[in-house]
Chains A and B, each alone.
Chain A
Amino acid sequence: MTIDHLPIGMSARIVAVDWARLVPEEAQRLQALGIDLGAKVSVAHRGVFSGRDPIALSVGRMAVALRRAHAEAIEVEWL
């Protein structure tokens, strides 16, 4: 399951990231923000006016905003 399908509030662990789908700078930025293999994440907020973009993730003590296009590259498993 990719992270954009994770229900709000549910915790999951990142098991695979398709880095090739991301621009190198974006891949690096995600890693710098702690969104990397093994990280525990949850979806905190999603979309405006009930759209599906963008997504706010909770990772560690941070909230990180990203787009669905990025989220689709991140594979997670339930915790």
Chain B
Amino acid sequence: MAVSLRSAALVGNPNAGKSALFNALTGARQKIANYPGVTVERKAGRLVLPGGEAIELTDLPGSYGLHATSPDEEVTRKVIMGEFPGEPAPQVLVIVLDASNLEQHLVFAQEVIALGRPCVIALNMVDLAERDGLTIDPAALQEALGVPVIATVAVRRRGLTELAAAIAAAEERAAEHHRPHTTLTERRVTAHAIAEAAIVSETARHRLHAKLDRLFLHPWAGPLILFALLFVVFQAVFTWATPFADALEGGIGWLTAQVRALMPESLLRDLITDGVLSGVGAVVVFLPQIVILFFFILAMEASGYMARAAFLMDRMMAGVGLSGRSFIPLLSSFACAIPGIMATRSITDPKDRLTTILIAPLMTCSARLPVYAVIIAAFIPNRSVLGPVGLQGLVLLGLYVFGIIAAMVVALVLRRSVTKGAASGFIMELPKYQMPHPKDLLIGLWQRAWIFLRRAGTIIFMVTVVLWLLLNFPRAAPGEDQVDASIAGHLANGLAVVVEPIGFNRDIALSLIPAMAAREVAVSSLATSYAVSAGDDEAAQAQQLGDRLKASWSLPTALAFLAWFVFAPQCMSTIAVTRRETNGWRWPIFMLIYLFALAYVFAGLTYWTAVWLGLG
């Protein structure tokens, strides 16, 4: 008996159903973190063996072989070989095979088995294989490979106990000699022979996924279906989320009122209510939108449709040096750049991924809508351009299109300069269609929501506290305005000189400072600096603010402000998530600088053109 068993890892090709198997084996309590130094996700959980002892099970990134072609595969290779610093090699390797694609998956499996380490094979998704008319004999496979083979169906919890028992037993056969090294071609020939022998019967059945592909990848119907689906997703993100967002906002309001009622008036009370609760609250209200958006993204991923969407959009994205994989992250950024940037993890090419992260903030996120709405309502006449098409709606659409065009141009420029590299190809497996399993969706949703909330509780919390301090210190003398006396007020004076050439006044400069916590805060801080007393009625507040703005801003100033917000560089949460996803300050700082530069130049161009046209 050797040392006691402490760790095991799942390895296998992408699309082998590893994640579903991992969820089924470990349950919802998983630890998600990055491997140190890289942005590859490390997923670990607790697996209880039949004997009652618990071991750590990790879900290694999907890999086609031990010759790494992506950062994901590099991590898998290093962990398996025990070469990853600070990450002891897993004691047992659980090789996950897709039973319906046995021949392909056996190629990598042979490579892992040849390492001579204790391993067990999970012959997964045998139900899907049966759906395709395939019957496989696990005993024959076990005979051919020389390691235990357990048939599993992760989503139905079939074979899990047997697999756990096999993992516990695998440790006994640790002392195995090294097998001779083979070439890829040799492994492929062997894989073919083993698969032939293990497949008991194969009826020619029209495979479901070929039929679905004929519809979803149809040259004309395919894109139409995709756009119809996206339309539903966006409707859902904006309409379903509203009641939940309202409830959250109500909850935060109630909490604020409770703090006001229970605590004596003091600076500390103001810090809690005006700083923390309103600042963190402004970000947390986006949680329902993020959860709904990720529900659709995860469902599209789990069903296999996501790869088809990437296929359909690849031609368009190739035009700016990206691939179809960038499409969904960029689309998500229309709701909020944070989930968008988080979704770039599915992009395998590091340069592609970085470019996508850098242009994600140019997609008009929902936090910019309140700003656009107030300014457009105040300055753009509500008249019809053509039939039901109104000028206001047209301007709003124009701002969205402006953002998209800017993103495409920036991507083109970046791909030829800072993120230059081998032309990112687009080679991807189109996985089989599957019904997403509710439990897997729930675990995924919970993980995304938790990442978002944890950040709201840490970095966004800190930023709002700092902003509040800047706005409240030093204290104003009696009769003096607090904002004017504060550090932020003085900063605004300095900033006003800088933004004056592009038509911004000091009030705008001041509103840009708190808008760093969340873009839409610009509206409420403009409202504060114009001393609008409209109570809690938001519509009335927007209306009155509009009237005030109209009285004190010229049209060129308003247009320049809109142009500024197309780039809206001042979202701290986006910067924070970029730091996390790129593992350092270099790229978030680059992003901040390029967005500020573009915002300044385009706001200026808008202002000068408008003045020149005599609009002011």
Contact = CB atoms under 8 A, between A and B. Distances in A.
Contacts of A30: 427
Contact of A61 (B104, B310, B423): B104
Interface string A56-69: 10001111111101
A66 B427 contact: yes
B425 A49 contact: no
A54 B104 contact: no
> For A29, A31, A50, which residue has the most chain B Cβ atoms within 10 angstroms?
A29
Contacts of A51: 219, 315
B263 interface: no
Contact of A67 (B222, B307, B314): B314
A53 interface: yes
Given A26-B427, A29-B64, A70-B427, A62 B222 contact: no
Given A48-B223, A63-B430, A56 B217 contact: yes
B64 A50 contact: no
Given A34-B104, A45-B213, A53-B314, A23 B64 contact: no
Interface in A11-66: 22-23, 25-26, 28-34, 36-37, 44-51, 53-54, 56, 60-66
B426 A65 contact: yes
A17 to B, nearest CB: 13
Contact of B315 (A45, A54, A61): A54
Interface residues of A, number: 34
A19 B315 CA distance: 23
Contacts of B429: 33, 62-65
A45 B312 CA distance: 11
A34 B213 CA distance: 20
B427 A29 contact: yes
- Interface bin, chain B: 35 or more
A50 B132 CA distance: 30
Contacts of B425: 22-23, 26, 66-67, 69-70
Contacts of A62: 101, 104, 429-430
A59 to B, nearest CB: 9
A29 B348 CA distance: 12
Contacts of A49: 219-220, 223
Contacts, number: 113
Given A48-B219, A48-B222, A70-B427, A65 B311 contact: yes
B440 interface: no
B67 interface: yes
B210 interface: yes
A36 B64 CA distance: 14
Nearest to A49: B219
A63 B311 CA distance: 11
> For A45, A48, A62, which residue has the most chain B Cβ atoms within 10 angstroms?
A48
Given A31-B184, A33-B429, A62-B101, A48 B69 contact: no
Contact of A33 (B185, B314, B318, B427): B427
A55 to B, nearest CB: 9
B59 interface: no
By secondary structure, the B interface counts as helix
B69 A28 contact: yes
B490 interface: no
Given A48-B223, A54-B315, A65-B426, A36 B213 contact: no
Contacts of B279: none
B315 A48 contact: yes
A69 B220 CA distance: 22
Contacts of B12: none
B185 to A, nearest CB: 7
B188 interface: yes
Given A28-B69, A44-B213, A61-B101, A56 B430 contact: yes
B426 A66 contact: yes
A60 B101 CA distance: 8
Contacts of B217: 44-45, 56
A60 B210 CA distance: 13
Given A36-B188, A48-B222, A56-B217, A64 B101 contact: no
A37 B184 CA distance: 12
Given A29-B64, A62-B104, A54 B426 contact: yes
B17 to A, nearest CB: 15
B223 A44 contact: no
Contacts of A23: 422-423, 425
B428 interface: yes
B100 interface: yes
A29 B69 contact: yes
B569 interface: no
A61 B222 CA distance: 22
Interface string B103-131: 11001100000000000000000000000
Given A23-B423, A49-B223, A65-B314, 19 more contacts: A26-B427, A28-B65, A31-B184, A32-B69, A33-B104, A33-B429, A36-B184, A36-B188, A45-B213, A45-B217, A47-B219, A50-B220, A51-B219, A54-B314, A56-B217, A63-B209, A64-B428, A64-B430, A67-B314
Interface of B: 64-65, 67, 69-70, 100-101, 103-104, 107-108, 132, 184-185, 188, 209-210, 213-214, 217, 219-220, 222-223, 307, 310-312, 314-315, 318, 324, 422-423, 425-430
6 contacts: A31-B184, A33-B429, A44-B217, A53-B318, A64-B429, A66-B426
